[in-house]
Structure 1
Amino acid sequence: MKKSVLTRYRVMAYITAVLLVLLTVGVIGKRLLGLDGFDSFVTVVGIAHGWLYVLYLIFAFDLGSKMKMPVGRQLWVLLAGTIPTAAFFVERRVTREAEPLIAKQADAAAATA
């Protein structure tokens, strides 16, 4: 597994998580507080989060399959982009697990070269 696989997953995890937190704040402002200015904000952030979540799913599935994650764990990683702030915590844990795998593979490649 290349480090770039982990990097693009991490970038999409942060982008998706930030957009979801912003969307949550916007929905609270629009629905619960009845503030007028949040209509277009919720629409724009919602569309952006939706499209970027699809990219997050692709990159998370790619990372999970290359790390040979169990199905249940991979589902949790995939669903983390739908729960506000969960992607921050899941990303941290996945990174801690993936970095030793990347280092091990780099060492093996260096030993054969």
Structure 2
Amino acid sequence: MPTPRPLDDVACRTSFARFRVASIVEGIALLVLVTIMIMRYVVFGGDAWFTSTSPLWEHVSSVWSPIHGLIYMIYVILGFDLWLKMRWALPRMLLLMFFGVVPVLSFFGERWTHQQVEVDLQQRPTLQDEAEAAPGA
């Protein structure tokens, strides 16, 4: 069985730092979106469900929804970047994407991902380990 290519510790940690920020921003953005939807359809929705909404919350929703969509796309791209740098299996990538879909889950997913990054960087060979072991380094 061939030995796996070493990870780049610095690139992995940098990628995770970007993903961490994106996770927190996505979590907050999703909570804001859920709050807007509750205000639009439940609190100010009137008697008929989904038919009579407040014009203010309808406008706020139409402005915030695309912003949240852009934030989620950035989150996905940064999650993909982390996944590539860590050389994880496909199910891990799908899990990273799922963390950004369920409200509040991105905060827990970020902590779990941090632990996984640390464990993998401890257990798997890195370029920095090779540089330290090389003679004359």
Q: TM-score, normalised by structure 1?
A: 0.85
Cα drift, residue 87 of structure 1:
0.8
Partner of 1:10: 20
CA displacement, residues 29-75 of structure 1 (integer Å, 9 cap, x when unaligned): 10011163322322222111101111111110111122222212210
Partner of 2:51: none
Partner Cα distance (1:13, 1:73) in 2 = 15
Q: Which amino acid aligns with 1:42?
A: S
Report the more deviating stretch, 31-40 or 14-23. Answer: 31-40
**3-state DSSP class of the match of 1:83?**
coil
Q: Which amino acid aligns with 1:7?
A: A
Partner of 1:56: 75
Contact 2:29/2:71, CA 8 A, preserved across alignment: no
Structure with the larger helix share: 1
Partner of 2:39: 29
Report the more deviating stretch, 47-56 or 28-37. Answer: 28-37
Q: Which amino acid aligns with 2:35?
A: V
Partner of 2:91: 72
Report the more deviating stretch, 65-74 or 52-61. Answer: 65-74
Gapped regions of structure 2 (runs ≥ 5): 1-7, 46-53
Partner of 2:118: 99
Partner of 1:89: 108
Gapped regions of structure 1 (runs ≥ 5): none
Cα drift, residue 102 of structure 1:
4.4
CA displacement, residues 8-42 of structure 1 (integer Å, 9 cap, x when unaligned): 11111111110001100110110011163322322
Partner Cα distance (1:109, 1:34) in 2 = 61
**3-state DSSP class of the match of 1:12?**
helix
Partner of 1:108: 129
Q: TM-score, normalised by structure 2?
A: 0.72
Q: Which amino acid aligns with 2:66?
A: I
Q: 1:14 to 1:109 in 2, by over 3 A?
A: farther
Count, aligned residues: 113
Partner Cα distance (2:126, 2:118) in 1 = 10
